Structure 1
Amino acid sequence: MKVEDYLIERFGLLMSISDLADLLGRSPDGVRVSLYSDTEVSRKLKPTMVKVGRRVYFRTLQVKDALNLEPSEYGAC
C-alpha cells in the first residue's frame, strides 16, 4: 500500500487539525500554535490549508508532500 493510499483511507482528502495532530504525534493546540508561528514546518504546511466556512482543513496529499512522508529505501519493509 502506498503512503498516499494509506493517508486517504485513514483521513480522507481533507484533514482536520485533529487529524494532522494525530499524524504528527502532537496535541491539536500544539499544532495550532506552531502553525501561527514562523517556523519551517508552518511554512510548509500553510500552503496546504483550505478554509471551509470557519473551519480549517489540510489537503492530505499536499501534507504528504510537504512533510516528505515517502518511505526511505532503507526503512521500507
Structure 2
Amino acid sequence: MRAKIIVFLITLFTFLTWLFMAIYFSTENDWWSVLESRETSYDTAVVGVSYVKVLLGTGLFLAGGTLVYMLIR
C-alpha cells in the first residue's frame, strides 16, 4: 500500500512540474509546451494556454500513473 501512495505522489508531482514548466518556461515551438499563439494583427501576437494540450497532457499522466499503479503489487 505504501508503494502505491508513493507512485501517486510521484505522478502528481511530475504532472504539476510539467504543467508549470510547460506554461512558464517553454516556447510555443517546444513539443512539450502548452502554449499557443493567436495573431490578432500584423504586429501583435497574443500567446495563451491551449486547453486541448493541457487536457491531452493530463490524460497521458493519468494513463501512465494508472498503469504504474496497477503494475505495483
TM-score by length of 2: 0.34
Larger Rg: 2
Which structure has the higher relative contact order (CA within 8 Å, separation 6+)? 1
TM-score by length of 1: 0.33
